[in-house]
Amino acid sequence: MTENSDSIIALEFNGLSKNFGAIKALDNISAQIIAGKLTGIVGPDGAGKTTLLRILASLLRADEGQAKVAGFDPKTQSDLVKDNTGYMPQRFGLYEDLSVMDNLVLYSKLRKVEAKNARKLFTRLLDFTRLEPFTDRLAGKLSGGMKQKLGLACALMGEPRVLLLDEPGVGVDPVSRQELWRMVEALTDDGMAVVWSTSYLDEAEKCASVLLLNEGKILFDGPPDSLTKTLIGRSFLIDAGENDKRAVLRDALNLPFISDGVIQGSAVRAVCKHIDDAKKIREHCKSQKLDLKATEPRFEDAFVDLLGGGPGGHTPLTDNFDPISHKNEIAVRCENLTKVFGEFRATNDVSFEVKRGEIFGLLGPNGAGKSTTFKMLCGLLRPTSGIAQVAGFDLRHATRKAKSNLGYMAQKFSLYGLMSVRQNLDFSAGVYGLDGALKAERIAEMIDAFHLTKYLDFSPEDLPLGYKQRLALACSLMHRPSVLFLDEPTSGVDPLTRREFWNHINGLVNKGVTIIVTTHFMEEAEYCDRVAMMYGGKLIALDTPDGLKASVTSSNLLEPSMEQAFIALIEQVDAQNGGA
């Protein structure tokens, strides 16, 4: 990395390597990280991101190479590194049965903050994170965004010179993520070196510099713009028009000159392998009578291209699926759905219908009521009032029949850690009433479709995140449901795995499966046919992704992204409530 003359190196490592048995987690990597800047670490599952952060935090020892953190060696000066470093782990690492204030007090003692300085520091951190109104709330009762802000406050205890954040945006809605960015940018403005590991490439795009890891090696080190520019002249939008956008995407991904493709509202974003392939995609679209226009490249597109491109358009998952016929055009229906916990209305008079073979997105900030609504439609929560129907069956009176027609993939990985991958597949097949040759056939299909062969004897807890999610999806599909509920199915997974998942989802919809999905990843919402936005337990908007974006378009926001539309809709409701 090129340094300015006034740059201060906050972290550096040279020839760093780390092996776990035969697996090379880090393979002879070197880089420098500058104080006062936000540096992103990105890469697919298993790239070595968490291993690198744990070595820099002096929680893991490298096999080879040297590192300096705030001028200290993690191997020989571990205590000094920890005194000068704040570390926020990937999983929420605070004490859920302690209050916000109790966690702050505990961390101040662990970081040896003098009692006379602690109270002033607490006040500053609570103001900085906007957690002051919630000091008495148990950490386990906080929303996902508030948990992350509390984690950040505890990581900042002792006023470190270096801050290491391992995927702080996972499971956090766009509004909360925006607040995290505000806080981190303020820290870098004050001269702190912040390292932000992420699987969200829109986050990486905002960083001053990015390290892109793959299989333990650094493939790119520099400003994200310099990688994005490699796609100039290779990025296009194909207008699906009246055509099925999923079919347009599938056909594009199967073209030999296309590196990557995703759905973007009613269009398909496609990336050519080479600049000379622009002529080929124009000829292809002309022959298919599809409108084509060049578009600005994104960092995520460049990331996927650098890793060799995304998966093709075919998924073996649905090769043996028979098309699902629906007796009704409406696969899922809720009317005046309400759930009350004590005096709290988690879901308040929500009504919508989902058509057969539709991908329906349920979005909203943490605590909006979408997970409660989701669980009522899956038969996991009984409504206080209102109607919930799946595949024509009322969940109040025909719960067993309704559940036999639906598949459910939970937000938090919910399979059995004491059983192997093979045993989880076998158990799930048995739960859905499969036996004999049919059971063996379905299990074999799932093993093949989700590439689980080498992990069959592993505990699910020992799987990389992407494979945990693959296993959970496989178990939810064992009985070939007509309606599939996916609660944040790709939370925390890398863009390549996310594309693979959406290939599977698009293939299922092609067979007539109805999908209801919740997600905090707004680019993912573009795949949905329609999106329902929830806030404060109520439904505040229902439209196509393009319709939602158009609804917030203004002179200050000419071409809003889905994330910008999400935030604008929330702000509109807040403004109305504030003026009431």
Counting Cα atoms < 13 Å in the Cβ hemisphere of 570 gives 21
The arrangement of strands across the sheet holding 514-518 comes to 406-409, 483-487, 514-518, 359-363, 530-535, 538-543
Mean residue pLDDT across the chain: 89
Q: What is the mean pLDDT of residues 77-88?
A: 92
For 330, counting Cβ atoms within 10 Å of its Cβ (0-12 exposed, 13-18 middle, 19+ buried), the class is middle
Whole-number pLDDT of residue 2: 41
Question: What would the two tokens of residue 371 be?
Answer: 């997970």
Q: What is the pLDDT of residue 177?
A: 81
DSSP letter for each residue of 348-370:
EEEEEEEETT-EEEEE-STTSSH
Residue 368 burial by Cβ neighbours in a 10 Å radius (0-12, 13-18, 19+): buried
CB 194 within 8 A of CB 163: yes
Instruction: Work out the pLDDT band at 520, boundaries 50, 70, 90.
Output: confident
Q: Which two tokens stand for residue 530?
A: 């329609």
H/E/C letters for each residue in 169-230? Answer: CCCCCHHHHHHHHHHHHHHHHCCCEEEEECCCHHHHCCCCEEEEEECCEEEEEECHHHHHHH
Label residues 24-42 b or e (16+ Cβ within 10 Å = b).
bbbbebebbbbbbbbbbbb
- Reading the block at residue 225, the tokens are 């713009």
What would the pLDDT profile of 199-240 be if each residue is shown by its tens digit?
A: 888 888 889 999 999 999 999 999 999 999 999 999 999 999
Q: Looking at residue 455, what is its pLDDT?
A: 93
Per-residue pLDDT tens for 176-194?
A: 888 888 888 888 988 999 9
Residue type, 279: K
411 band by pLDDT with thresholds 50, 70 and 90: low
pTM (2 decimals)?
0.86
246, 237 contact by CB (below 8 A) = no
Q: Are 12 and 195 in contact (CB under 8 A)?
A: no
What is the structure's pLDDT at 413?
57
Q: What pLDDT is recorded for position 580?
A: 45
Confidence grade of residue 412 (pLDDT, cut at 50, 70, 90): low
Sign of CA dihedral 81, 82, 86, 87: positive
Name the percent of the chain lying above pLDDT 90. Answer: 59
The answer to which of 2-11, 251-260, 442-451 has the lowest mean pLDDT is 2-11
Report pLDDT for 3: 43
The 10s digit of each residue's pLDDT in 440-469 is 999 999 999 999 999 999 998 888 888 888
Does residue 36 carry a pLDDT above 90?
Answer: yes
In angstroms, the CA 561 to CA 264 distance is 10
CA–CA separation, 266 and 531 (whole Å): 13
Identify the pLDDT of residue 328: 65
Q: How confident is the model at residue 129 (pLDDT cuts 50, 70, 90)?
A: confident
Q: What is the DSSP letter of 134?
A: G
Q: Is the pLDDT of residue 4 over 50?
A: no
Q: Which distant-in-sequence residues (6+ apart) come within 8 Å of 400 by Cβ?
A: none
